C-alpha cells in the first residue's frame, strides 16, 4: 500500500497518521491488522499450448470469489482440474480463503468440431473418460478422443435432434473426434406441443404394479417426439404406495411409461394426473380405474395362537388374519381353502370367518402330549407365520406295574429285574417328574436284611420309576408297595426260595 502526501505539510501528515493509528487502537487492532489479508493463486496449464486460464496467477483479497475459466486452444479441449481442486466444472467458482495451486488439463483432439445451434439453447462438450479416470487418448493425442455432447434447451424450448455429421435425438450423445465434423443441435419452442395419454391404466389388484402401465407422449405440432421432458404422475385423490416411481423422463420416442406404480388401498375409483415439468403444457388425467382386493399375501397375512403351551385335553384358539399385498383385509374365504400341516395327532376344527373383516378363527385340540409347529396354507399359498404349540401331559391319573412282579430268587439275593411302574395321565400320556415311594409291606416272619435299592424314585420322560430289591435271610413271600400322590398303590410280590 502506498500513501501519496505530495506537498502536504509535515505537521498535517503527522496528524493524519496519528488519527489512523488512534482509530486502529480504538478497536483493539493494529494498523497492520486493519489491512485485508491476501492469498496467492498459482495456475499451471498442461500442456502449455493446450489453452489458457483466466484469471491467471496473482494475489487476491481473502473472502473474494473467483470464477476460473479454462479456454482451450485450437485442436484442444478442456478436460479437468487437479491440485487443490479436482473436477471438470468450467468455469470453476473459488472462494479465496487460502493459497491455491491448480493445474488445468487440456486434451489434444486434433480434428476440428463445429457446433451450431438452431433455436434457443446451448451444447456442452465434455471429454469422455475411461474406467481409470484418464482421458481416452494417448499422451501425444494420436488416438481419437471421444466426447459427450449434451444439448441444453433454454426455458420454454425443447431439444428435438441433431443434424449434420451426426443425426438423431439421443441426448446426451457420445461421438469420436476422428475427423473434422460439423453438428447442429436444433431446439424448438415447447409451447405448441401435444401432451396425450397413449396407454390408460386398468383395474389392478392392490399392492401390485398397475397394469397396463400408464404411459404419456409428448410431441410438437409436426409430430416430432420431444425427449427429456420430466413427467410426474400423481393421484387426484389418495397416494401411491411407497417405492412407486412417480417421475419419468420422455424417451427418444417422446414417451414416458410408468411401469412401477402401485396403490395399496382397495376400493373406489382412481385417476392419475400427469404433469410435464418445465413446460407450459396443461396437466392431463387418465380415465378412472379401480383397485381390487388382491390374492392372499403370505407376508402381510398373520397366523398365531392364543396359547403356546397347554395341558392335553384343552384347546387353543388359532387366529388367522388374511391380507393382500396392499394390506387390505380379505373376507369371504370358505373353510376348504385353509390347509394345515404339522398338527401331529391334534385335531383342528373347520375355520370360521368372524364379524371382523379379514379375521378367521378355529381351535386346536389334542389328547397327546407333543410339540407341534403348525403350518397354514390358503389355497396352497403358505403363510409366512408359523404357530408353535406344546401340549403338556396332564396330572397323574393311573399307575400300573410294568415289570418285576412275581420274581423268585434265593435268600439274601437281589432280584434280576427291577420293580418298575408307569404313571400316566387320563389320556395315557406318560407323566414325567412324579415322585414314587417304594416300601416293603410284608416279609416272612423273623426275616432280616431285606432292602430296597431306593425308596424314592422320580418318573422319567416315559413315566417310568423303578427300584431294585434284595431278599432277606428267610425264605418265603415278600411284598413291596409303590405309591404316588392319591393314586391307588400297586404291590409287587417276590419269593425267596429255600
pLDDT at 35: 63
Q: What is the pLDDT of residue 192?
A: 55
Listed residue (401, 408, 402, 399) closest to 469, CA to CA: 408
pLDDT classification of 303: cutoffs 50, 70, 90: very high
Q: Between vectors from CA 30 to CA 24 and to CA 31, what angle results, nearest 5°?
A: 75
Give the distance, in angstroms, between the CA of residue 145 and the centroid of all CA atoms in the same chain. Answer: 41
> Regarding predicted confidence, which is higher, 350 or 3?
350
The domain over range 398-497 is classified in CATH as 1.10.420.10? no
pLDDT of residue 25: 47
Q: What is the pLDDT at residue 87?
A: 86
Has residue 31 got a pLDDT over 90? no
Grid cell 398365531 is found at: 304
Spatial separation of the C-alpha atoms in residues 301 and 299, rounded to whole Å: 6
Q: How many CA atoms lie within 13 A of 130 on its CB side?
A: 7
Residue 13 clears pLDDT 70, i.e. is over it: no
Average pLDDT over residues 2-16: 37
Q: Tell whether the model's pLDDT for residue 3 goes beyond 70.
A: no
CB of 122 closer than 8 Å to CB of 99: no
Answer whether residue 244 shows pLDDT above 90.
yes
What is the gyration radius of the CA atoms in the chain, in angstroms? 47
Could you tell me the pLDDT band of residue 32, with boundaries at 50, 70 and 90? low
What pLDDT digit, counting tens, does each position of 161-199 carry? 999 999 999 999 999 888 889 999 999 876 557 899 999
Say how far apart CA 121 and CA 192 lie, in whole Å.
17
Residue 249 has pLDDT above 60, yes or no: yes
Average pLDDT, the chain: 89
Exposure b/e, 175-200, CB count within 10 A at least 16 = b: bebeeebebbbbbbbbeebebebeee
pLDDT of residue 10: 39
**pLDDT at res. 5:** 33
Please name the residue that has the C-alpha cell 415278600.
478
**What is 296-317 written as a DSSP string?**
PPTTT-EEEES-SEEETT-EEE
pLDDT tens digit string along 312-369? Answer: 999 999 999 999 999 999 999 999 999 999 999 999 999 999 999 999 999 999 999 9
Confidence of residue 23 (pLDDT cuts 50, 70, 90): very low
Placement of cell 410284608 in the chain: 442
CA distance 381 to 298: 7
Cβ atoms of residues 378 and 301 within 8 Å: yes
Cα–chain center distance at 401: 62
φ/ψ of residue 358, rounded to 5: 80, -5
Local confidence band at 130 (pLDDT 50, 70, 90 cut-offs): low
Per the CB < 8 A criterion, the answer to whether 424 and 445 are in contact is no
- What pLDDT score does 18 carry? 45
The Cα 184–Cα 169 span in angstroms is 11
Kindly state the greatest CA–CA separation across the chain. 155
Tell me the pLDDT band of 145, cut-offs 50, 70 and 90: confident
pLDDT at 483 over 60: yes
Residue (of 222, 137, 210) closest to 186 by Cα position? 222
Question: Among residues 180, 196, 18, which one has the least CA distance to residue 113?
Answer: 180
> Is domain 302-392 annotated with CATH 1.10.1040.10?
no
* pLDDT score recorded for residue 75: 77
Share of the chain above pLDDT 90, in %: 71
Fold of 38-108: Immunoglobulin-like (2.60.40)
pLDDT at 17 over 80: no
CA distances from 42 to 15, 46, 55, 64, 229 (A): 41, 13, 10, 16, 42
Q: In the predicted model, is pLDDT for residue 11 greater than 70?
A: no
**For residue 258, what are the CA distances in angstroms to 200, 233, 315, 422, 473?**
11, 8, 51, 72, 99
Cell 431285606: give the residue: 450
Structure confidence at residue 33 as a pLDDT band (50, 70, 90): low
Residue 256 has pLDDT above 60, yes or no: yes
Average pLDDT over residues 16-42: 58
Domain locations in the chain as residue ranges: 1-32, 38-108, 113-189, 193-292, 302-392, 398-497
- The CA distance from 489 to 363, in Å, is 38
Evaluate whether 38-108 and 193-292 have a shared fold: yes
Report for 40-54, 276-290, 463-477: range of highest mean pLDDT: 463-477
Task: Check the CA dihedral 317-322-323-329 and report its sign.
Answer: negative
CATH fold label, 193-292: Immunoglobulin-like (2.60.40)
Q: What pLDDT is recorded for position 279? A: 87
Share of the chain above pLDDT 70, in %: 89
Q: Which residues pair with 184 in a beta bridge?
A: 116, 163
Amino acid at each position: 500500500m502506498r500513501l501519496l502526501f505530495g506537498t502536504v505539510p509535515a505537521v498535517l501528515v503527522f496528524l493524519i497518521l496519528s488519527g489512523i493509528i488512534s482509530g486502529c487502537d480504538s478497536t483493539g487492532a493494529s494498523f497492520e491488522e486493519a489491512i485485508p489479508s491476501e492469498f496467492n493463486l498459482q495456475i499451471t496449464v498442461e500442456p502449455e499450448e493446450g489453452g489458457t486460464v483466466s484469471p491467471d496467477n496473482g494475489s487476491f483479497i481473502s473472502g473474494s470469489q473467483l470464477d476460473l475459466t479454462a479456454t482451450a486452444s485450437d485442436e484442444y479441449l478442456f478436460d479437468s482440474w487437479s491440485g487443490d481442486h479436482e473436477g471438470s466444472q468450467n468455469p470453476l467458482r473459488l472462494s479465496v480463503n487460502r493459497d491455491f495451486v491448480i493445474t488445468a488439463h487440456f486434451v489434444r483432439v486434433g480434428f476440428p468440431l463445429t457446433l451450431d445451434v438452431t433455436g434457443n439453447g446451448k451444447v456442452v462438450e465434455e471429454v469422455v473418460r475411461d474406467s481409470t479416470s484418464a482421458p481416452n487418448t494417448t499422451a501425444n493425442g494420436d488416438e481419437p478422443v471421444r466426447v459427450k455432447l449434451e444439448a441444453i434447451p433454454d426455458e420454454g424450448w425443447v431439444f428435438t435432434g441433431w443434424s449434420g455429421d451426426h443425426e438423431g435425438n439421443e441426448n446426451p450423445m457420445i461421438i469420436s473426434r476422428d475427423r473434422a465434423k460439423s453438428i447442429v443441435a436444433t431446439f424448438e419452442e415447447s409451447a405448441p406441443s401435444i401432451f396425450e395419454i397413449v396407454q390408460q391404466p386398468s383395474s389392478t389388484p392392490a399392492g401390485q404394479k398397475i397394469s397396463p402401465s400408464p404411459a404419456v407422449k409428448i410431441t410438437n405440432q409436426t409430430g416430432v417426439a420431444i425427449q427429456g421432458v420430466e413427467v410426474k404422475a400423481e393421484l387426484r385423490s389418495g397416494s401411491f404406495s411407497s417405492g412407486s416411481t412417480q417421475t419419468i423422463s420422455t424417451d427418444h420416442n417422446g414417451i414416458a411409461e410408468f411401469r412401477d406404480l402401485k396403490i395399496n388401498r382397495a376400493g373406489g375409483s382412481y385417476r392419475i394426473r400427469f404433469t410435464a415439468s418445465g413446460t407450459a403444457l396443461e396437466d392431463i388425467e387418465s380415465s378412472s380405474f379401480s383397485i381390487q382386493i388382491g390374492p392372499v399375501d403370505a407376508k402381510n397375512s398373520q397366523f398365531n395362537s392364543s396359547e403356546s403351551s397347554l395341558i392335553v385335553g384343552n384347546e387353543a384358539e388359532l387366529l388367522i388374519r388374511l391380507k393382500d399385498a396392499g394390506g387390505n383385509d380379505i373376507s369371504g374365504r370358505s373353510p376348504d381353502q385353509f390347509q394345515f400341516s404339522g398338527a401331529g395327532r391334534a385335531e383342528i376344527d373347520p375355520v370360521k370367518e368372524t364379524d371382523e373383516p379379514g379375521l378367521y378363527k378355529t381351535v386346536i385340540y389334542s389328547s397327546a402330549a407333543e410339540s407341534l409347529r403348525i403350518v397354514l396354507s390358503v389355497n396352497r399359498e403358505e403363510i409366512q407365520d408359523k404357530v408353535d404349540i406344546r401340549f403338556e401331559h396332564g396330572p397323574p391319573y393311573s399307575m400300573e406295574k410294568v415289570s418285576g412282579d412275581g420274581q423268585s430268587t434265593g435268600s439274601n439275593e437281589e432280584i434280576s429285574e427291577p420293580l418298575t411302574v408307569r404313571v400316566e395321565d387320563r389320556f395315557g400320556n406318560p407323566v414325567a417328574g412324579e415322585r414314587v415311594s417304594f416300601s416293603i409291606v410284608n416279609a416272612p416272619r423273623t426275616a432280616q436284611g431285606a432292602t430296597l435299592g431306593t425308596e424314592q424314585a422320580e418318573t422319567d420322560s416315559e413315566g417310568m420309576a423303578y427300584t431294585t430289591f434284595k431278599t432277606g435271610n428267610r425264605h418265603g413271600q415278600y411284598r413291596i408297595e409303590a405309591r404316588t400322590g392319591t393314586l391307588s398303590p400297586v404291590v409287587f410280590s417276590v419269593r425267596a426260595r429255600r
